[in-house]
Structure 1
Amino acid sequence: MATASLAPNNELKQVMQVKHSQLSRQQAEFETHPPLPGHAVNWLETTRMLAHHQVGAERRLELMLQMRQAVSLEKPALSREQLLLASELAGYLSDWPLLALLCEKLLKTGPDKANNRLAEAEASTANELCIKQSYCLEQMGLYPQALAVLENQLLARPFDPELISTYEYCKSQWQQLPFALTDLQNDPLMLLPLTEQHLENFSWQYADSRIRKLCNLPKFTSNEQWLQWLDGCRQERGIYLFAVMHIEWGFIGSVSLEVYQGVGFFYYWLGSDFQGQGFGPQAVKILLSLAERYFSQDCCYAKVYHHNIPSQKALSKLGFTPLDFPVKAPFDNESFYYLGPDKADWELYRELSWLLQAQDSELELEEKYFDSSV
């Protein structure tokens, strides 16, 4: 399973600007690591053992829940040392919403000057915490909030070069976004273009092998392979990949859209911890709205395995209708769905056949004859 850890505070700006070759050296790996020993999971104990053990994907959500509960308690409140340990684990888990909150709490508490050992070991200055917090907010697509954090710190240190460069970088990232933030968001979800910065988040959720099989996606064995796959998708005209971000939990899955001359095709997947809660259909609604507004999509198709009943129900709720167009073997265990203006069966058959050719898909429809008098 992929794991991840946040880079040291003074390297955060470099992480945000890192290239493919650098990203492949980060700790996120598409492979299985031995879980922590024992059955009980305790976030404090886990944090102290990170140097020697990896955290499996099956324990990630439990740790995230434990830390949120601990942080929310006023009595007993977490000490500064515990907040620092929690921030280390949150960064390791790519839990950006929690890490942003922890940075805010650390900024309010300040270093424990009564504890000389802790004061000397405390490496996070106010600047570094603000930069880390803004980075987390940027990861979530919360650019206005990220800039506000930096602007507030710039009032205290208006000539700090690192703050200025981080602010300018965050501002440029927002300006380069090809969509309005309001068009990407429908609480509690937001879609963001899938980029290199999502490698760690993607790998945490992609640990479930069922996702790869249901979506016919590659079996990623290294960071470099994932980065090459992402780059290849982005080189293809008409293909758009998005990260599905949850305001409380961060990255929870991905949606993909292909549009050819107004005809769309999409798929989506969510991490196993976030399935069955309505997030998939909600993300697709945002996607379809984007497709109509930005990509001139007139209609959309989707496909699903015969045994994937949850996805079939989700498509029906979204307004898609099943098509009675059998697929040739060995893909005859899949079915197509359609959403768009009413069309005759022969028009749908011709359009879907054309779409599969445009996608250079291996799938072919069984030959079907239509009554010309109808």
Structure 2
Amino acid sequence: MSALQAAVDNARSPAADADIARVLMAIGASTPASESMPGIALALQSATRFRNVWPYLILSLRKNRRLDRTSIARMLAGLWADSSAPWDADSLRGLARVAHACFDLSLAMRALHALRDLHGSAGSDLLLEATCRAACGDLEQALTLCGTVLQRAPHNAIAAGLRDRWTQRLHSWRGPWHARVVGRDGLRLEPLHAEHAPPLAWQYRDPEIAAKTLLPPLEAPALATDWIEHRLADRHIVPYALLHREHGFIGSVEVTVSGTEGFLCVWIGTDWQGQGLGRRMIAMACEHAFRCGIEIMLTAAYDHNSASLRALRACGFADVNIRAEPPDEDRTFLSLSAASLDQDEIVRRLIGFSDRTDTGLRFPAVASNDGSAAEAQRQMQPRVEETQ
């Protein structure tokens, strides 16, 4: 029996708050879920216990990135909803902070609003609300809240730092590509930023996402930050975060741009799959790309990835009549054009795009009406334009 398991057993009966705190402090970065979750469940047995131990729960969440944050937030929301007595200010403050650490921004905001109605908002509460607003894509409201804090405490270094950072982000959004796209149903495409790394890493936790997109493992926020910086350093790639106005980060999309062709890559987060959000993100990204001058959007999906193929076809993408040569013959290429193009033209554009962007894909020779495929490709070598 591990030391943590022994501590959990000792804390169960009679379960003192100090015992629970020790259990939570014993959770480390490599503690498996089978050992950590029983201790966390004890911390959420009652509203009174949660009030006394929530700082230690946050400590556990900070130390162990693999804890099931979605389950913890669900348990916490149930505890709040089932309580017969109203929660006091400290309990609501802990609820908001634990929910935020679990990436449940909707629950955090509800707790902050309840806290404001009960007790008024301290400066730290306003800054947490500002952080939630920013994570949901409302930087303007986040800056307003920072301004309120600075009016109360002009020398608040945290508020000043957030204000400066978010102001810089707003100023970096410029057209046509690097701009925010506001869609229907509370969805926004926002230029990807290092601040998106923690929720991105959490929503990326399903290994199937990496397997179906050929993206690298992003198990921790530091790895996600490095990946975001790598994408931003490529002048041909325009990456976006898909944000919901209540829930924050729910997916990512990027367009690789070469001339008047774009190549689409999308994925929806683990907690948000199967809800039609991928189709809405695809539609928003394509409409934005066409406004930015793209004539044809290209993409690909593995043949076994039926969900992605279904979503792409539902958005108007049609299969391209060509396959890559082995070992890349296991995927379907699709296209969506701003104007009508015949299959020969689409194939030529796909091959030309692949050559110009060094994808490493090889295609079989394609006959054309005006000469060889190689000649057609040579004629389609426009200067690669900056996306900046």
Same-fold status (TM-score > 0.5): yes
Match of 1:309 in 2: 306
Match of 1:328 in 2: 325
Distance 1:222 1:203, change over 3 A: closer
Q: Which residue of 2 aligns with 1:15?
A: none
In the other structure, the counterpart of 1:261 is 259
Q: What residue identity is the alignment partner of 1:369?
A: A
Question: Who wins on radius of gyration, i.e. which is larger?
Answer: 2
Root-mean-square deviation (Å): 3.2
Q: CA offset at residue 142 of structure 1?
A: 0.7
Stretches of structure 2 that go unaligned for 5 or more consecutive residues are 1-28, 372-388
User: What's the secondary structure of 1:186's corresponding residue?
Assistant: coil
**Is the alpha carbon distance of 1:222 and 1:150 closer, same or farther for their aligned partners in structure 2, counting shifts above 3 Å?**
closer
Structure 1 partner of 2:71: 62
Give distance in 1, aligned partners of 2:91 and 2:167. Answer: 32
Partner SS, residue 368 of structure 1: coil
| Amino acid in the other structure paired with 1:330 | P
Mapping for residues 1-374 of structure 1, pairs under 5 Å: 34-35=32-33, 36-38=36-38, 44=44, 47=54, 49=57, 51=59, 59-69=68-78, 76-110=85-119, 126-153=122-149, 157=152, 159-162=154-157, 163=159, 166-178=162-174, 183-220=181-218, 223-293=221-291, 295-340=292-337, 341-370=339-368
For 1:190 and 1:262, the matched residues in 2 are separated by: 24
Residues 94, 264 of structure 1: alpha-carbon distance in 2 compared, 3 angstrom cutoff: same
**Number of corresponding residues:** 328
TM-score, reference length from structure 2: 0.74
Note if contact 2:57-2:98 (Cα within 8 Å) is conserved in structure 1. no
Amino acid at match of 2:137: G
CA pair 32-246 structure 1, distance change in 2 beyond 3 A: farther
Query: Structure 1 length normalisation: TM-score?
Result: 0.76
Q: Distance in 2 between matches of 1:367 and 1:316?
A: 26
Distance 2:276 2:42 in 1: 30
Counterpart of 1:234, as a letter, is: L
Counterpart code for 2:334: Y
Classify the secondary structure of the residue corresponding to 1:61.
helix
In structure 1, list runs of 5 or more residues that go unmatched: 1-30, 112-124
The one-letter amino acid of 1:109's match is: L
Q: Which has the higher contact order (CA 8 A, sep 6+)?
A: 1
Q: Judging changes above 3 Å, is the alpha-carbon distance between structure 1 residues 75 and 37 closer, same or farther for their aligned structure 2 residues?
A: closer
Superposition deviation, residue 277 in structure 1: 0.5
CA contact (8 A) 1:186 1:286 kept: no
Report if the CA contact (8 A) 1:268-1:280 is conserved. yes
Contact 2:322 2:347 in 1 (8 A): yes
Secondary structure of 1:77's counterpart equals coil
CA gap of 1:218–1:348, structure 2 versus 1, over 3 A, is same
**Residues 104 and 133 of structure 1 are in contact (CA less than 8 Å); yes or no, is this contact kept in structure 2?**
no
- Superposed displacement of residue 101, structure 1: 3.5
Change (3 A) 1:231 1:172: closer
Cα offsets for 1:18-37 (capped at 9, x unmatched): xxxxxxxxxxxxx9751124
Partner deviation per Cα, 1:271-319 (whole Å, 9 max, x = no partner):
22211111011112221222222x3211100100011111111011100
Q: Percent identity?
A: 21
Shift of 1:261: 0.8
Distance 1:249 1:366 in 2: 45
Question: How far, CA to CA, are the matches of 1:142 and 1:249 in structure 2?
Answer: 12
Deviations 1:190-244 (A, max 9, x none): 1222211112111111111110010001124665544333222212122011111
